Structure 1
Amino acid sequence: MINKIEQSIDELKTWISSDELALIALNAGYENTFRDRLLFPLQKSFPEFFVRSEYYTNKNRADIAILDAQKTIQCIIELKHNYTFQLDLITGTKKKDWKNQNFQNRSKTRIEKEFLRWESSNIPLFCINLVTHFDFVDKKYKDYLKYKTIAQKNNASVYRNYSDYLTKHQNNALLGKTKEYALQLNKPYHASGKLIISIYQKLNEIAP
């Protein structure tokens, strides 16, 4: 199942590298936009099921639910978005700790909280973590940005901090598949970067 989800994301490559997504990413988080774009590729990948967005159960709401003909949930997909400079939110640590590469003293990450939310169910749960990094944004266009930090000078070190966390301090309670995609925005904004997508699922619950 995780491979089909990954293939569905791959179908969005052209859109991910488009000016449209890059402009949205400069303005704000876009997990809902990404969710809606993902629906059709998912439906093609799972023709025997129904793919629903914002699906409500008795106690919870799912970003995406995949249902069989009897409306039994086959899996839940949750999406989260951050920028690389929001490493405190991604790792559950305070900035003073991650600047020193200390990831031991931390709270639950946003993805772990999603797993806890569905903990009482036996439904396979996947979390898609969207992390956007901008290598370069022309400073004269910084007023277009919601988060001025995106236009900071030291983006290379910001990405290095994120990469170090991703490679050295991956949470052992999760399994993740990570891919990078180009994120480009041409004139008049002059920005370039990458979108890092990780797909997580509960340990020892590997769907076929």
Structure 2
Amino acid sequence: MLTDLPNVLTLSRIVAIPVLVALVAMGRPLTDSAACLLFIAAAFTDYLDGKLARARHQYSDLGRMMDPIADKLLVGASLMVLAGTGRLAYAALYPAIVILAREILISGLREFLASTRISLPVTRLAKWKTGIQMTAIGFLLAGDSTGALLHLQWLRVGLVGAALLWIAAGLTVITGWDYLLAGLRHVGRTDGASKIAS
């Protein structure tokens, strides 16, 4: 189970987190570029592990449990280290808070619904949100120093990342609200079923 390639890819995202944090904490143009590349590679494994699991029929409880946890740890750690190092310019701290709050809310909701054997499917809009969010974090990790390193001083990398993070936060609110309403409908049904059973 642990040696299945999809699970290895999932766990590699968690292993990458302390390296990513250390690179960002160094705060140099080269380490910022390296952090961005590492984040892109880690984010790509999210797409790749699911694709491989379906192609090889290597589904496992470990994979189902660890995949969303690895995603949330990667996003949460990246946003926190960016905030801690003062790298969330252009008021990007606020969409970061919205994104983290939504992740906690949905995780709690999914955990409750899992106990009632109900799952919330991922919507297409939520996939778009994830894609834009990952792109935004990649830009923020690269920062303006990467633009200078590539002799592209005119490219405001941090501004692009902040703008994308605001867009992702807007989609986060929409998809989070949809998930919350869907979850509350199931909560109402389970409450009704428990009253009938008693």
Q: Same fold (TM over 0.5)?
A: no
Q: TM-score, normalising length from structure 1?
A: 0.29
Decide which structure has greater helix share.
Answer: 2
Structure with the larger strand share: 1
Q: TM-score, normalised by structure 2?
A: 0.30
- Structure with higher Rg: it is 2
